[in-house]
Homo-oligomer: A and B are copies of this chain.
Amino acid sequence: MFKVLFQPDNVVVEVEAQSTLLQAADKAELPLNVTCGGKGTCGKCLVRVLKGDYLLRDDTVLGKAEIPACQAVVLSDIEVEIPQETKLVKHKVLIQKDNLLAEKELDLLAGYKFNPLVRRYEVTLPEPSLTENATDLNRLLVELKKHVSCSEIKIFLPALRKLAYALRDGEWNVSVDVAHIEGYGEIIDILPGKSKTDLYGLAIDIGTTTVVVFLIDLLTGSVIDKRGTYNKQAKYGDDVISRMICADEEEDGLQELQQAVLNSINELISEILVNHPHVERDFIKLVVCAGNTTMTHLLLALHPKYIRLEPYIPTAAQFPAVKIKDLGLPLYGEGLVINIPSIASYVGGDIIAGALAVGIEKTDELTLFIDIGTNGEMVLGNSDWLISCACSAGPAFEGGGITFGMRAMRGAIERIEIDNDFEVVYETIENEKAVGICGSGLIDGLSKLHSSGLIDRTGKFQTDISTNRLRQGDDGSEFVLVWAKEGGINKDIIITESDIKNLLRAKGAIFAGIRSMLKLVALEIYVIDKVLIAGGFGNYLNLDDSIKIGLLPDLDRNRYQFVGNTSVKGAQAVLLSTDAYQQSLELSKKVTYLELSVGNTFMEEFVSATFIPHTDLTLFPSLIK
């Protein structure tokens, strides 16, 4: 065992021989900014060794001051500094800016009736006698059927074991907690008398990057607390593809990935419970999760292997309800975990939840719902018809594949202006010294580089422009956004031509996805009545710049709305409304899935959309004016 001392946090952990510094940091609960799953390819987990011996697996980095933690094997007690930009800090709380559209308040119930998936029924039974000697269960069911509309009511052993005592302790009054799933009622708990104990549920958004948990009072419908954290699966890779590879190739990979997300959820639950000491774990009897198809498979330890391999077939799109105890969550074990169903391998329960939350299935207006993350997932339609698709935009908007790209965390550049002298004004999250650029900063940057003439419509730098910010780097032309002396990482923060290519591919994929769906129903862009943009990303999105670079359609700006994290909002609606849950099941079967890799439509659209804003300028009339 060796001691590893991490600076500047001054945290010590002991690790086994053969451990890497990345594993040590993980053990020290100092998560590093690693996007390749520790394979030594992303170069983001850089640390400085202050004292002690180590062996580098990757000798190409020998002699550099900062070494990738994932490649450094500890050989002695060691002291290590984690630079600011390497740390995976907590997600920034969503903020609102004047010139960004504010996140729209959505109805808690998404317009559905308040009839939670788990409801408490207080019933009074006739007392038995020698002549009226029906069993406790029959007596209960006869009475309960007067209140519960399900055709069938089930009960499992653990709840049934409570029945005899509850009835007699409560003098033939009992409170019965019933889950309303898949067309039948399931009695999950029986309490004596008119129970005063509370009844709660969790609405959970399981994102590839973050996990968000809402604690909700199922008796009143009120939201008690909201918490978010990183998905601990991040250490196995940044995107769903690397997680799936890990599940497939690593021994116990699937179990580790499942445990990682459960740990993320458990951590949030513990945080919430500390802050609400009157809420006992056993009062939480329902969990509704919304995640993409891969996340849901990993949560349930269903192998996602064939989601990744053509023809991309998941095990299931509608998932069986699972007992809380069978998933190992430390809540009321007989309660249920419900996963919002998927549409296809790359359009998951998070999108169904989103569609539900914005009410796309109930509107007459032609609505485009987009969730921009690693994939651009979207649903187009109205109450009559719905199409969905997923285009692999790549991780550029989340900072992946961009030299100084990062997630929307403290110190990330989120707004950029470039003036006539090519000087840069920028804003960072929490006004910290700049450490990198997040998605909204990248969109601003791309737009401003173009409008200032620094790049052309293909994304090429105009090297004849004279400014010391535009220079030749190791990998071709690059533009300095932040000088080393102003920033927080002791080096220049730049954007390279290759970064720009990645951004163009990302924005092109999204726009091509939109066009492909429209082509399927032979409609033009301008007939879209409403565009709803979801995801944490959306909160920082500069709408004008997004349209200028050709990421979003050139529609009247008031047709746009930002709707925030609709995944957790949809989960919340399902938790609180059996009708919304039924609708989620129907949507999962009803929404047409457009597989973009079939045929040439998408590829042709994509090529045209990798220009700024597009090869076809008539699609962007407001920019021509």
Contact = CB atoms under 8 A, between A and B. Distances in A.
Main secondary structure, interface of A, reads loop
A541 to B, nearest CB: 31
A569 to B, nearest CB: 25
A156 interface: yes
Interface in A133-189: 133-138, 152, 154-157, 160-161, 163-165, 168, 183
Given A130-B595, A133-B593, A160 B315 contact: yes
Contacts of A450: none
Interface string A374-392: 0000000000000000000
A302 interface: yes
Given A136-B306, A155-B320, A326-B157, A130 B315 contact: no
A24 interface: no
B306 A137 contact: no
Interface string A194-225: 00000000000000000000000000000000
Interface string A103-131: 00000000000000000000000001111
B160 A302 contact: yes
B137 A317 contact: yes
Contacts of A163: 315-316
A313 B135 contact: yes
A15 interface: no
A129 B310 CA distance: 8
A388 to B, nearest CB: 13
A476 interface: no
A314 interface: yes
A482 interface: no
A621 interface: no
A135 B345 CA distance: 8
A303 B168 contact: no
A341 to B, nearest CB: 10
B598 A302 contact: no
B320 A130 contact: no
A300 to B, nearest CB: 6
A305 interface: yes
A318 interface: yes
Contact of A128 (B183, B301, B311, B320): B311
A457 B300 CA distance: 73
A303 B165 CA distance: 9
Contacts of A311: 128-130, 133
A463 interface: no
Contacts of A345: 133
Contacts of A314: 135-136
Interface string A445-474: 000000000000000000000000000000
Contacts of A155: 320
A538 B135 CA distance: 31
Contacts of A164: 302-303, 305-306, 313, 315
A323 B156 CA distance: 10
A516 to B, nearest CB: 14
Contact of A137 (B157, B165, B318): B318
A322 to B, nearest CB: 6
A554 B7 CA distance: 98
Contacts of A303: 161, 164-165
A196 to B, nearest CB: 24
Nearest to A312: B133
A597 interface: yes
A161 B310 contact: no
Nearest to A326: B157
Contact of A130 (B137, B157, B310, B318): B310
A358 interface: no
A344 interface: yes
B131 A302 contact: no
A160 B306 contact: no
Contacts of A320: 154-157, 160
A324 to B, nearest CB: 13
Contacts of A183: 152
A315 to B, nearest CB: 5
Nearest to A156: B320
A598 B315 CA distance: 58
Nearest to A293: B135
A244 to B, nearest CB: 12
B133 A315 contact: no
Contacts of A597: 130
A236 to B, nearest CB: 19
Contact of A306 (B168, B301, B313): B168
Given A164-B306, A165-B303, A302-B160, A316 B135 contact: yes
Contacts of A130: 310-312, 595, 597-598
Given A130-B310, A302-B160, A135 B315 contact: yes
A154 B316 CA distance: 13
Contact of A131 (B135, B157, B595): B595
**4 A-B pairs closest in CB distance:** A137-B316, A130-B311, A135-B317, A164-B315
14 contacts: A129-B311, A130-B312, A131-B598, A133-B311, A135-B313, A135-B314, A135-B315, A152-B183, A155-B320, A157-B326, A160-B315, A164-B303, A164-B315, A165-B303
Given A136-B313, A156-B320, A168-B306, 5 more contacts: A133-B312, A137-B315, A157-B322, A160-B300, A164-B303
